[in-house]
Amino acid sequence: MTGQPQDNRELWEQRYQAGKARINYPYDEVVSFMLGRYPEDRRNQTAVLDFGCGTGNHLWFLLENGFDAFGVDSSVTAVTLAREAAARAAIKFDDNKVKVTSGDDLPFGDGMFDVVIDRSSLGQNRSEDIPALVAEIHRVLKPGGTYFGINFSDHYPDLHRARNCGSGDFSDFAIGNLKEIGVRHFFSVSEIFDLFTGFAIEDVRVLSSLSLFDKRSNQQLVVIANK
């Protein structure tokens, strides 16, 4: 495992162009959180940003359930597909609600969102870049707004199969779902508290799974933090 890791944005654009990263359905953790926390009669007044929206699997779910949904992603192809998914879910959808951005300069005003969803997007970045991303998430949240994030833990069991780039960053996974997807960051609990010092952390919990067939497992940290 030698050489410099490939730039993640370039790699993900290539994956989306090749149709390798398209996800059609929302993740159950996001569904449970959003529907459980926000009553139906409030959803049309709840502005939600999907931070790293991919091809729109959360956007169409949010729109179908009455939320005022927005999305950002670094991939042009992903944003195009996300806009198409959103248009199928809403009679009228403004394409400007889904934008291409690197994440450290979000194209939205201060205090615009009630919720920011992050399903494994912060962890797609190198450790040195993550504090600026968290600061941008904080900036665009309304006072009292909520960050809901799910990212890989530093107890992820296959880290020994990857190249350790230092500071919680790993690349070049030899096998598994993380193979050929660039550099990933794996978070410790203490790092979460350091990164979210500008927030009131409501909850941090471990999300684990284990296959009884191939014995493969993973571990993620679920973070709920309020501005």
Distance in angstroms (rounded) separating the CA atoms of residues 60 and 49: 12
pLDDT of 98 over the 90 cut: yes
Q: Which helix (H) or strand (E) holds 9?
A: helix 8-17
pLDDT of 1 over the 80 cut: no
pLDDT of 112 over the 90 cut: yes
What are the sequence ranges of the domains in the chain?
A: 8-226
Mean pLDDT of 80-86: 97
Mean pLDDT of 26-40: 98
Q: Is the overall model pTM greater than 0.75, yes or no?
A: yes
Distance in angstroms (rounded) separating the CA atoms of residues 204 and 182: 26
CATH of domain 8-226: 3.40.50.150
pLDDT of 3 over the 70 cut: no
pLDDT of 215 over the 70 cut: no
Tell me the CB-side half-sphere exposure of residue 168, using CA atoms within 13 A.
22
State the pLDDT at residue 85: 96
pLDDT-derived band at 62 (thresholds 50, 70, 90) equals very high
